[in-house]
Amino acid sequence: MRPNAALFIAISLLSGFGSSAMSLVAGIWILDLTGSVSLAALAGLCVYAPVLGGPWLGALLDRAPRRPLVMAVNLALSAVLLSLLTVRGPEQTWLIFLVSCAYGLSYVLIDAGESALLPSALSPTELGDVNGWRSSAQEGMKLVAPLVGAGLYAWRGGHAVVLLSAATPVLVAVLYAAVRLKRLPPVRPSDRPTGVRVGLAVLFAHRALRVTVVLAAVSIAMSGFTTAANYAIVTTGLGLPTTFLGVLLSAQGAGSVVGGIVVGRLIARWSPVTVGVAGTTLFAVSCLVRCLPWWPGTVAASVVAGVGLPWALVAAVTAVQTHTPTAMLGRVSGTANTAMFGPVALAIPLGSAIVHFGERRTLVAAAAICLACAAGAAQRHWTWRQTERASTVSPRRSGRLHAGTPW
């Protein structure tokens, strides 16, 4: 493994550990301070809300040096986290919400920044593998960090978790400084994108970008749409305690780790579009398997979903990094993040409302939507490949005929 690849994986491990530990503790801390479940849930909303500003936040990365900006975001996040050391009672709860919003902003900027930096640090053949390993690292930390964060909170309180979480962005900034970037030709002012809509235009003008981002957006949205149905399947359909949801979460995390490890090789062998179709199809299959009144099937479905979702996501991210002009990587990456993660904010409450008509109907509806999108993408991709092959063969044939024509 090359040093740059190892550095980016280490960055994913550290940032995933710090953010996962703090995201759980933030809700617990608010609940302990206020006794309000609703306020505790709002901490998660504060984290995801800034995703809607992806096109504007990503534009900052196209106007400023990307590595210094990403390093500055990490250092600023660490400083904001340290403000939680002043929290003593319910009257300082607003600081926890502020830090949750800061995390959301940093996610958008850092995700777009890493997507823009990776092509300058790695060869095109390495992008799929490294994106998959980064996904596995982040998912692995989601299994470990919440337990560590909750245990540290129970032992030493919220301030101890704050100090741990504030240290990780500083270490991440140091690792960013150690990454060796290739020298790229300077971008002329005329080449720089103007207007927020430009990122969206580029994203949907290229076939591979358009298809993979839509597949990832549908898969992620349907994962949120089926959240309430999954709860109902466990508690009502299977008659199991709510703690069984932890088993399913761990099973999905294990599937995500495995899926992230192999997805890079699959992208290199096939294409981002093919892997995106496969990932969306796997998630649809997991929804159908959850409908079975058999708890081992539900566990297996969680593993399959854990494999499918990273495949769809990594395929889209790799396509963006591969097919986007360097001068526009920040804006297009930010727009892609908004397109992929923004719909889940609507899908979760919609799924919570529709689940009253039956949890299995909700899962079947999600599977049908995913399968329809995957089938449409596969059919168009196959048609495009056939057209491309025909256009490649025709000139050769015409050339041979022309060569044999007497003058």
Output the pLDDT for position 389.
65
What pLDDT is attached to residue 19? Answer: 84
What's residue 38's pLDDT?
65
In the structure encoding, which two tokens stand for residue 186, read together? 């300077």
- What is the DSSP secondary structure assignment for residue 226, as one 8-state letter? T
CA–CA gap between residue 70 and residue 106 (Å, rounded): 9
Four-residue CA torsion sign, 348, 349, 350, 356: positive
Q: What is the pLDDT of residue 393?
A: 53
Residue 253, pLDDT score: 84
Q: Which residues contact 218 (CB under 8 A, 6 or more apart)?
A: 280, 369, 370, 373
Mind listing the pLDDT tens digit for each residue in 106-157?
Answer: 888 888 788 778 888 888 888 888 988 888 888 888 778 877 888 888 898 8
Quick one: which of 252, 280, 5, 25 has its CA closest to 153?
25
User: What six digits make up the tokens of 206?
Assistant: 């290229």
What pLDDT does 407 receive?
A: 26
The torsion angle over the Cα atoms of residues 198, 202, 205 and 211, rounded to 10 degrees, is -130
Parts of the chain with a pLDDT under 50: 185-191, 396-407
Closest to 322 measured CA to CA, from 119, 117, 62, 61: 119
128 close to 314: Cβ distance less than 8 angstroms: yes
Per-residue pLDDT at 216: 96
Count of residues for the chain? 407
At residue 353's C-alpha, the angle toward residues 350 and 357, to 5°, is: 120
Classify 198 as helix, strand or coil: helix
Task: Write down the pTM of the prediction.
Answer: 0.77
pLDDT of amino acid 285: 97
CB 70 within 8 A of CB 114: yes
d(C-alpha 94, C-alpha 183), whole Å: 44
